């Protein structure tokens, strides 16, 4: 199977291509230099000439706070860029997998979000990813929408790398303790996505590592497994944290039952994932 993967320089795209190679599939990895997703003509040319069976669309504008000041750019990438790809997938009648986010929900309550729950984004990033979802649903017959959260991978910046750096530099970290969700290791997620794209079990899904935590608990576990017990971690409520431009969801719990119902293997526990990840990086 030949699959085009966007955002190949990012955390997830990098791991998806590696996973495909392991399985003897044919990845066509592209990033901005090979295919600017905001250029409809480039999308049509590259996807058509690549003669692929599917597209896994990982590329996105993910700077959540910066998005509040760069609405047009964020929309051009997350909504219009996704529409450009979706139009080609429709015309070629090929599968499209769109990687989305829990930020399409309003982040209220404590119930895990179901894949088909109503979407009410809190911020510009969430709104533009929601618009991307709508484009895929409107245009593509053979689509997967996979919502993820709290992502970390070897190839790029993430919360774990930030905590390790702050812990080394300052010996202390202040972390919010009232936003709840599940971390997602891109290595584990990539395996699921490659499993999924080879099926015809289309629709919306949620995928994170198993288990729940707050960002504070996530930080404490990172330092514990890294052997940095001397780092002092102070919990604070979101209301007491220096104001960020974008409103964050308090409830990032997302239900993964649909994975089980469709015979997909769920991701390992997030603490196990942190341990494996720390062995893959240097700090």
Catalytic residues: 125
Q: Return d(Cα 153, Cα 161) in angstroms, integer.
A: 9
The pair of structure tokens assigned to 222 is: 């990172």
- C-alpha dihedral sign at 262, 99, 130, 256: positive
Maximum distance among all Cα pairs of the chain, rounded to whole angstroms: 57
Number of helices followed by number of strands (H, E) in the chain: 11, 12
Q: Return the sign of the alpha-carbon dihedral for residues 108, 109, 110, 114.
A: negative
CB contact set of 236 (below 8 Å; sequence gap of 6+): 174, 175, 176, 177
Tokens of 235: 């919990």
Cα–Cα distance for residue pair 10/156, rounded to 1 Å: 6
Residue among 34, 44, 124, 122 nearest 77 (CA): 124
Q: CB neighbours (10 Å) of residue 283?
A: 12
H/E element holding 98? strand 95-101
């Amino acid at each position: 199977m030949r699959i085009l993967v966007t955002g190949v320089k990012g955390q997830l795209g990098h791991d998806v291509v590696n996973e495909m190679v392991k399985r003897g599939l044919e990845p066509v990895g592209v990033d901005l230099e090979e295919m600017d997703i905001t250029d409809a003509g480039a999308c049509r040319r590259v996807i058509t000439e690549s003669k692929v069976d599917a597209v896994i669309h990982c590329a996105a504008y993910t700077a959540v706070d910066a998005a509040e000041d760069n609405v047009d750019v964020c929309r051009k990438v997350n909504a219009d860029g996704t529409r450009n790809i979706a139009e080609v997938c429709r015309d070629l009648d090929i599968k499209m997998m769109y990687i989305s986010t829990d930020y399409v929900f309003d982040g209220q309550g404590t119930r895990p979000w179901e894949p088909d729950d109503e979407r009410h984004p809190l911020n510009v990033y969430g709104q533009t990813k929601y618009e991307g979802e709508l484009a895929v649903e409107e245009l593509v017959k053979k689509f997967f929408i996979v919502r993820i959260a709290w992502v970390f991978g070897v190839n790029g910046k993430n919360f774990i790398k930030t905590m390790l750096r702050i812990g080394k530099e300052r010996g202390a970290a202040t972390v919010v303790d009232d936003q709840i969700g599940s971390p997602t290791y891109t290595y584990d997620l990539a395996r699921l996505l490659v499993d999924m794209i080879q099926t015809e079990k289309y629709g919306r899904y949620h995928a994170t590592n198993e288990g729940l935590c707050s960002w504070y608990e996530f930080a404490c576990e990172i330092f514990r497994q890294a052997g940095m017990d001397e780092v002092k971690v102070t919990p604070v409520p979101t209301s007491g944290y220096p104001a960020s431009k974008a409103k964050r969801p308090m409830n990032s719990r997302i239900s993964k039952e649909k994975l089980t119902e469709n015979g997909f293997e769920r991701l390992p526990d997030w603490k196990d994932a942190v341990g494996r990840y720390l062995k893959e990086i240097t700090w």
